[in-house]
């Protein structure tokens, strides 16, 4: 576990560094395409550092805002508050995560934050209404595992940063559509034209690579979080039953979006796979299949 925590911290730092370079280049190409002058690279660098800083320190607030979440209270959510309190001992975490609830019929949950000292667990009202005590315990233990393993930092930073890249790519596409390139440049600036072509290719491919990285990180860490959750609860059946119920529920998550889908315990976008057909993971899956996760949990018994 300690090796995974160290690895996650290193990966987070590397991804932030790559993000600064990527955003700097993308913003530079956008500014260059719009003929904003020689200060484009300076503006691009400032923008990339500022967006990286914001993604790191405010990623939890951004995600909670997207999900319209409210703080959980003992008066309204006593069961889930008590479950979290009891799991704090077995998890070994010293700071209790803030607990939030979002109004939605789909049973689901996610954890976010930059570290265990600034962590958040958010559950849907559908989860509270449809799961029994030990099933809820399994779900909360799973989210606590993401917090303890520092998965939350990596997944949240990647989610927000991929969102930025997609947004900037859209801006650049609009700039191309509007035709705001300077076509009157002389032959001495052919190098800039080549650079712009490279930048265009880079802009098209970067959201794809970013999404693939996001999906790969998510799938790999779900298995680890499931197994760590069992260390906390000593009850594989609770999490297995919860995963089965979450997978069988047909409700769509109203606040779900592609940038944050990887953060949830199960994919918030319900597929139309036929009943009885194994929902195996594909290249574009944000999560391993429920069948694969349940098989792994049963092997832990």
197 close to 172: Cβ distance less than 8 angstroms: no
Q: Give the residue carrying structure tokens 């003992």.
A: 74
245 close to 130: Cβ distance less than 8 angstroms: yes
Backbone angles phi, psi at 105, to 5 degrees: -75, -30
Q: Which of 76, 59, 75 is nearest to 112 (CA)?
A: 59
Active site residue 3: no
Backbone angles phi, psi at 6, to 5 degrees: -60, -40
| DSSP letter, residue 35 | T
Which of 135, 143, 231, 291 is the catalytic position?
A: 143
Q: Where are the alpha helices (DSSP H) in the chain?
A: 2-33, 40-66, 74-91, 125-130, 133-148, 151-178, 190-233, 236-248, 290-298
109 close to 268: Cβ distance less than 8 angstroms: no
99 close to 71: Cβ distance less than 8 angstroms: yes
Ramachandran sector of residue 276 (left: φ over 0; alpha: ψ -120 to 50; beta: rest): left
241/246 Cα distance (integer angstroms): 9
128/103 Cα distance (integer angstroms): 10
Residue positions annotated with a catalytic role? 143
């Amino acid at each position: 576990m300690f090796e995974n925590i160290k690895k996650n911290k290193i990966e987070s730092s590397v991804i932030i560094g790559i993000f600064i370079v990527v955003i700097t280049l993308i913003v530079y190409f956008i500014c260059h395409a719009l003929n904003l002058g020689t200060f484009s690279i300076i503006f691009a660098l400032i923008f990339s550092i500022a967006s990286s800083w914001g993604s790191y320190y405010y990623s939890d607030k951004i995600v909670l805002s997207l999900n319209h979440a409210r703080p959980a209270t003992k008066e309204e959510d006593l069961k889930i508050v008590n479950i979290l309190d009891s799991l704090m001992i077995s998890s070994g975490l010293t700071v209790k995560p803030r607990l939030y609830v979002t109004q939605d019929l789909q049973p689901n949950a996610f954890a976010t934050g930059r570290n265990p000292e600034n962590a958040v667990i958010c559950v849907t009202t559908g989860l509270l209404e449809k799961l029994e005590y030990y099933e809820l315990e399994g779900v909360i233990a799973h989210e606590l595992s993401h917090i303890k393993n520092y998965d939350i930092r990596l997944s949240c930073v990647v989610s927000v940063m991929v969102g930025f890249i997609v947004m900037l790519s859209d801006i650049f596409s609009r700039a191309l559509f509007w035709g705001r390139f300077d076509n009157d440049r002389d032959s001495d600036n052919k190098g800039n034209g080549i650079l712009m072509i490279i930048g265009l290719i880079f802009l098209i491919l970067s959201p794809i690579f970013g999404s693939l990285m996001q999906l790969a990180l998510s799938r790999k860490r779900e298995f680890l979080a499931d197994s760590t959750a069992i260390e906390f609860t000593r009850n594989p059946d609770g999490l297995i039953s919860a995963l089965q119920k979450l997978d069988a529920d047909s409700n769509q998550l109203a606040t779900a979006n592609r940038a944050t889908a990887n953060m949830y315990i199960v994919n918030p976008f319900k597929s139309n796979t036929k009943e009885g057909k194994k929902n195996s993971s594909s290249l574009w899956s944000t999560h391993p299949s429920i069948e694969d996760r349940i098989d792994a949990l049963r092997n832990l018994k």
